[in-house]
């Protein structure tokens, strides 16, 4: 196995040259048999092992998805939902699997508003009403059945072992436990999973212990999740029915119920995966495939690429003030359209063809001033019809047969709602916050929404998740994606620009400082590492620039010829790209 932190030695066949003759600063992992990249090295290893055992990329991705539910509990999940792109080699076709969560049947448009019509703080993020019907188990099992080659039980076996035998808590996860302690300790069923008694505390049942007697897990300690192991065994035996029907479903509903029932057994039993047509665009000759609505990611990614294609970015240079300015201006226009038009296409008409039209993009980009930032209050959604979620995680997989998976799934915020369904080990999402609780009111990511994304029973909330597969000459080239809420779209955009316009390898592409604009609030967010001179030039153009924490944790795999490359974002030291060598 080759791990991203390892060293790749030159082949003996390569002519001897100076070691510093290349332009590359960072280097991806290389392998000849396939590649997996995820946010947690244990999950990446699970996927690589499945490839080594003869599984295809879909098998490996499903195994990674279930493993992340164990070893990345703040984002990996059984109780959330997401989107998966599958490039199937035998049909040379790409499929978009939508396993986004849905609003329960009891949900109403005004459920998060008080009698005065104002949003009730925290109700859409920290209560049983914040939980949407989970889709992850349905999505992963659907992918395994439709496109996989190995039995489901074999794909879940590594996750079961990790839950049953435990794994060593990393410094990154320990920090998350500590930071989110107040969020997690409000629920007795959650205490039983993620807390332990202090050595000198009274002997009490974990769920009933006072907070002063409990502590979160520290780095180096082993976290066991026996309830989650039992849940995974049930899924391995019964498939999705083991989660959406029977005892597990009953425990989910009962945990959420108090005087009312925010979710019913029928809500769970009726959940279905939606198979959709990927949204497609061409950027400088490269085909870009991503998720359609209810993800806004793919639509607005293509929209921004279409706008930027009219500018010579390679001449301006990576990280230049002009390139950053144009990224911000195109994002400002796209996010204004997002607030107006995007929602669940099963409930509202989404002008997807118009939004991704190059003609529409040309009309928008004609309004971009190259030397002056536009005020967001002056920007409104364009006439697209004329042309007709913070704790998320992503993983990407390629195999030697030509199968590719790019998958982003989420609990929404860190540890979701914080509610573990009693006796199951399943941490539940707070995805209802991704609906527009009230038109014009921002969600937890500061995103504004309109009536297209209003709450309705059975509806899927709007998302920014943007799994991407890129094709060159019709062949798989790169699969990538990232968590990051509202910042997902611009992060993925910059990975594409870095690889195509600025000719970076995938490790360099995801290591560069990032920028973000989302129309409202009206400021340009940047990571540390942009030079003061560049920042001043951006301010001179009229941008309000704010240096803020890092954005995204990109996971990228690539195929070039007979070699695979992988890179895991250095912003997350727990992540890893792991490749396998061809057995032929």
Residues noted as catalytic? 392
67 three-class SS: helix
- Structure tokens belonging to residue 171: 């410094």
Q: Say which residues have a Cβ less than 8 Å from residue 581's Cβ, sequence separation at least 6.
A: 2, 31, 32, 33
Q: CA neighbours within 13 Å on the CB side: how many for 155? A: 30
| Peptide bond before residue 294 is cis, with ω within 30 degrees of 0 | yes
- Structure tokens belonging to residue 391: 């704790």
How many C-beta atoms surround the C-beta of residue 511 within 10 A? 18
Gap between the Cα atoms of 234 and 245, Å rounded: 11
- Structure tokens belonging to residue 317: 């240079």
Place of tokens 């195994």: 63
Residues 290/493, Cβ–Cβ less than 8 Å: no
Q: Say which residues have a Cβ less than 8 Å from residue 143's Cβ, sequence separation at least 6.
A: 58, 61, 62, 84, 86, 97, 405
- Closest C-alpha to 574, from 5, 102, 182: 5
Gap between the Cα atoms of 281 and 358, Å rounded: 9
- Closest C-alpha to 554, from 372, 408, 418, 400: 408
- Closest C-alpha to 386, from 346, 345, 341, 428: 341
- Kindly tell me the sign of the dihedral angle through the C-alpha atoms of 343, 345, 350, 351: positive
- Structure tokens belonging to residue 471: 């094709």
DSSP 531: -
Residues 204/221, Cβ–Cβ less than 8 Å: no
Residues 101/455, Cβ–Cβ less than 8 Å: no
Residues 457/431, Cβ–Cβ less than 8 Å: no
């Amino acid at each position: 196995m080759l791990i991203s932190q390892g060293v790749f030695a030159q082949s003996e066949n390569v002519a001897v040259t100076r070691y510093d003759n290349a332009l590359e600063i960072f280097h991806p992992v290389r392998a000849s048999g396939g590649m997996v990249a995820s946010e947690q090295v244990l999950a990446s290893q699970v996927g690589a092992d499945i490839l080594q055992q003869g599984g295809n990329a879909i098998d490996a991705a499903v195994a990674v998805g279930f493993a992340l539910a164990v070893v990345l509990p703040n984002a990996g999940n059984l109780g959330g939902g997401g989107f998966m792109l599958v490039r199937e080699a035998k049909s040379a076709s790409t499929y978009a699997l939508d396993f986004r969560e849905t609003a329960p049947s009891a949900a109403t448009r005004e459920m998060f508003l008080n009698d005065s019509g104002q949003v009730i703080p925290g109700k859409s993020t920290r209560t049983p009403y914040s939980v949407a019907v989970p889709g992850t188990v349905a999505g992963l099992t659907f992918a395994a059945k439709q496109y996989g080659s190995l039995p489901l039980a074999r794909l879940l076996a590594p996750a079961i072992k990790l839950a049953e035998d435990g794994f060593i808590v990393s410094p990154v996860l320990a920090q998350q436990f500590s930071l989110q302690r107040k969020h997690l300790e409000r629920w007795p069923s959650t205490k039983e999973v993620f807390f332990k008694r202090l050595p000198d505390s009274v002997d009490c049942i974990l769920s009933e212990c006072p907070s002063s007697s409990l502590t979160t897990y520290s780095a180096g300690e082993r976290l066991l999740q026996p309830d989650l192991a039992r849940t995974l065994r049930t899924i391995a035996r019964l498939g999705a029915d083991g989660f959406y029907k029977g005892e597990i479903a009953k425990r989910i509903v009962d945990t959420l119920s108090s005087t009312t029932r925010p979710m019913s057994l029928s809500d769970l039993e009726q959940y279905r995966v939606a198979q959709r047509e990927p949204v497609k665009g061409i950027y400088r000759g490269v085909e870009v495939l991503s998720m359609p609505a209810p993800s806004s990611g793919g639509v607005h990614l293509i929209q921004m690429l279409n706008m930027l294609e009219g500018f010579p970015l390679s001449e301006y240079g990576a990280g230049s003030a002009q390139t950053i300015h144009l990224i911000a201006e195109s994002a400002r226009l796209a996010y204004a359209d997002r607030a107006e038009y995007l929602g669940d296409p099963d409930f509202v008409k989404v002008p997807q063809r118009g939004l991704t039209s190059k003609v529409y993009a040309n009309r928008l980009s004609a309004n971009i001033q190259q030397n002056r930032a536009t005020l967001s209050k002056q920007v409104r959604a364009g006439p697209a019809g004329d042309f007709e979620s913070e704790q998320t995680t992503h993983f990407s997989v390629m195999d030697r047969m030509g199968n590719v998976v790019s998958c982003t799934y989420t609990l929404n915020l860190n540890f979701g709602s914080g509610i573990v369904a009693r006796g199951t080990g399943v941490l539940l999402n707070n995805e209802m916050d991704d609906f527009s609780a009230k038109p014009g009111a921002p969600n937890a990511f500061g995103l504004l929404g309109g009536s297209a994304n209003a709450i309705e029973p059975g509806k899927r909330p709007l998302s920014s998740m943007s799994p991407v597969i890129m094709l060159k000459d019709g062949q798989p080239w790169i699969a990538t994606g990232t968590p990051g809420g509202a910042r997902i779209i611009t992060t993925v955009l910059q990975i594409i620009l870095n690889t195509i316009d600025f000719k970076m390898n995938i490790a360099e592409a995801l290591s560069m400082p990032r920028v973000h604009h989302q129309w409202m609030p009206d400021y340009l967010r940047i990571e540390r590492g942009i030079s003061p001179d560049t920042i001043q030039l951006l301010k001179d153009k009229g941008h309000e620039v704010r240096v803020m924490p890092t954005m995204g944790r990109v996971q990228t795999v690539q195929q070039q010829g007979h070699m695979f490359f992988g890179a895991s974002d250095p912003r997350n030291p727990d992540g890893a790209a792991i490749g396998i060598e061809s057995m032929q």
